[in-house]
Amino acid sequence: MATKKIVKKKSKVVKDKKVIKKAKVKNVKKDKIKNTKKKDKVVPVKKVKKTATSTNVRVGNKTPELLRGFKDILPKDSFYWRKIQSLADQISQAYGFVFSATPILEEASLFIRSIGRGTDVVDKEMYLFEDRDGSKVCLRPEATASYVRAFINHGMQSLSQPVKFWYLGPMFRHDRPQAGRFRQFYQYGCETFGVRDSAIEAELISTGYNFLKDLGIKATVYINSLGTVEDRQNYLIELVGYLRTKRAYLCEDCKKRITKNPLRVLDCKNTDCKQVLEEAPQIIDWLSESSKNYFMKVLEYLDEVDIPYVLQPTLVRGLDYYTDTVFEFYEDEVNQESQNALGGGGRYDLLVKELGGQDTPAAGFAFGIERIISVLRRQKEEGKLSFSENRSKFFLAQLGEQARMRSLKIIEELRRAGIFVEHNLGKTSLKSQMELADKLGTAYSIIIGQKEVQDGTVILRDMESGNQEIIDQKKLKSALEKKLSKV
Ligand code: AMP
């Protein structure tokens, strides 16, 4: 009974509200009609609809934060990025790799199947989510698997082998952010499909090593062989037996890895686990004769081209798809134990078939660009950077509206002739432009004002001596070329 009463009372209130609303609407209509007759209209006050943006703006104008582990590439670092990109382009081309790109978003199963369950990348670090159609997708944690997919999807096994790609792009791993470890990071990588020969590994290592060398980074290659699947299976029996006897000293993750994915124990950074691994059986002792010969041949090639390497029996790399040769690049003069690898790679002969393609051997490597930049930044601080910023020797300064217009034309004409000029069309005072030219360390300023526009000339000023000469605009290109050959 009591509940019924309350319900009744409620419905009365609701009714009353409706009555009030109706009355209001009536008044508004009346007002509208009235107002249309009157000249000095009183427009009925409309309710302002709250849109998402108007609300956001009012909430203190809070700027969204950069996500943890993500970084903006800022102009202050553009010098390094441009150098790395152009060198990656040059060196890849010289070694026969062709630029290509795959999407950042892929089917999640591509990486789960290739990198493997039990690896940190798949178990803990994938940016995995459901797409709007319910399918499981992920932001690529690396690019090798994507290239395998592309190789199969586009029927590239019918092309002349090897098929060689290079790429540079962002990867995503939900790792714990720390020095040299981000959630979005860029990789420069090369992949070779279709040939199983020690020369391929030697070529990849040579490409990577010389890429670092040309950047002025002295590096050593740490190298190991995982042999064939059979070699590995024999080794794993021995390894698991050993790890079981040392189970009590292993970290909790490695205890699980003994049964889940024992090879991953070798990747563990925990100091107790590392100590256990010192006495562990080494895979190199379990390689078949042919695997050993294959690996020895890779080392012979490296000797031939004077690439320094260190045999590292615990090096297995954190991904499951590798067979035979695996390698990593470490900067010299920095303790390998205390630093992160600049890059790494290896052979993955089974992956194309595992992902549904024809039996196709393959190998590749990838470098982390942010880690390379942090080495270069440190070198710069220490005054040891081997290259300098490629700035123009010329600054174009303008005075007056017409001169500014003419400047654009001159900039373009010189650009077509391969000469770049620094400038700042946003500045109008000659003094501030000359200060800027000075700050940039330009050798010559090209000055153009109202008079020069009319005469078809420019003033060319030697910034050091202060000497000035008047030059015909048509002869500017050849005058600058002469100056370039002297600078
Ligand atoms: P991987 O794909 O794991 O073989 O890594 C190849 C290279 O990518 C490493 O040697 C690093 O230089 C770089 N790298 C891998 N993970 C990260 C990360 N989380 N943050 C920055 N660089 C990374």
Query: Do 398 and 377 fall within a single domain?
Result: no
Indicate if the pLDDT at residue 124 is higher than 50: yes
Q: Is residue 416 part of a domain?
A: yes
Say which amino acid occupies 324: D
* 318 Cβ inside 6 Å of ligand 1: yes
Q: How many domains are contained in the chain?
A: 3
CB 205, CB 304: distance < 8 Å: no
- Weakest mean pLDDT among 1-5, 80-84, 348-352: 1-5
Q: Which distant-in-sequence residues (6+ apart) come within 8 Å of 224 by Cβ?
A: 283, 284, 311, 312, 313, 314, 315, 316, 325, 326, 327
Atom 16 in ligand 1: which residue has the minimum CA distance? Answer: 181
Supply 441's token pair: 């360390």
Query: Do 167 and 300 fall within a single domain?
Result: yes
pLDDT in tens, 337-393: 667 899 999 999 999 999 999 999 999 999 999 999 999 999 999 999 999 888 899
Domain that holds residue 466: 394-486
pLDDT in tens, 103-120: 999 999 999 999 988 788
Q: Is residue 136 part of a domain?
A: yes
Last residue of a domain, one of 381, 412, 430: 381
Neighbours of 324 (CB within 10 A): 24
Q: Is residue 145 part of a domain?
A: yes
Atom 23 in ligand 1: which residue has the minimum CA distance? Answer: 368
C-alpha 343 to ligand 1 mean position (Å): 7
Q: What is the DSSP string of 121-134?
A: IIIII-EEEE-TTS
pLDDT, position 37: 40
C-alpha 176 to ligand 1 mean position (Å): 13
Average pLDDT of 312-318? 87
d(CA 212, CA 206): 10
Query: Do 336 and 193 fall within a single domain?
Result: yes
C-alpha 165 to ligand 1 mean position (Å): 19
What's the CATH number where 107 sits? 3.30.930.10
Query: Do 294 and 351 fall within a single domain?
Result: yes
What confidence tier does 158 reach under pLDDT thresholds 50, 70, 90? very high
Tell me the percentage of the chain whose pLDDT exceeds 90.
Answer: 78
Q: Which distant-in-sequence residues (6+ apart) come within 8 Å of 254 by Cβ?
A: 243, 265, 268, 270, 273
Q: Which of ligand 1's atoms lies nearest the C-alpha of 141?
A: 2
pLDDT, position 435: 96
What is the torsional sign of CA 51, 52, 54, 58?
positive
Atom 14 in ligand 1: which residue has the minimum CA distance? Answer: 368
Last residue of a domain, one of 350, 381, 412: 381
Atom 2 in ligand 1: which residue has the minimum CA distance? Answer: 142
Last residue of a domain, one of 58, 88, 104: 58
* 140 Cβ inside 6 Å of ligand 1: no
Q: Is residue 262 part of a domain?
A: no
What is the rounded end-to-end Cα distance, in angstroms, of the chain?
A: 101
* 330 Cβ inside 6 Å of ligand 1: no
C-alpha 341 to ligand 1 mean position (Å): 8
Query: Do 54 and 81 fall within a single domain?
Result: no
Query: Do 87 and 14 fall within a single domain?
Result: no
C-alpha 267 to ligand 1 mean position (Å): 14
pLDDT, position 76: 92
What confidence tier does 320 reach under pLDDT thresholds 50, 70, 90? confident
* 120 Cβ inside 6 Å of ligand 1: no
Q: Is residue 270 part of a domain?
A: no
Query: Do 173 and 221 fall within a single domain?
Result: yes
Atom 15 in ligand 1: which residue has the minimum CA distance? Answer: 368
Supply angle C-alpha 315, 348, 302, rounded to 5.
60
d(CA 384, CA 378): 8
Indicate if the pLDDT at residue 268 is higher than 90: no
pLDDT, position 261: 87
Query: Do 104 and 219 fall within a single domain?
Result: yes
pLDDT in tens, 189-230: 999 999 999 999 999 999 999 999 999 999 999 999 999 999
* 364 Cβ inside 6 Å of ligand 1: no
What's the CATH number where 408 sits? 3.40.50.800
CB 42, CB 341: distance < 8 Å: no
Q: Is residue 252 part of a domain?
A: no
Query: Do 98 and 175 fall within a single domain?
Result: yes
CB 212, CB 329: distance < 8 Å: yes
Query: Do 324 and 361 fall within a single domain?
Result: yes
Q: Is residue 232 part of a domain?
A: no
Query: Do 202 and 121 fall within a single domain?
Result: yes
CB 126, CB 141: distance < 8 Å: yes
* 181 Cβ inside 6 Å of ligand 1: yes
Q: Is residue 51 part of a domain?
A: yes
Query: Do 219 and 360 fall within a single domain?
Result: yes
pLDDT in tens, 33-54: 344 444 434 444 444 444 444 4
Q: What is the DSSP string of 262-318?
A: GGGGGG---HHHHHHHHTS--GGGG--HHHHHHHHHHHHHHHHTT--EEE-TT---S
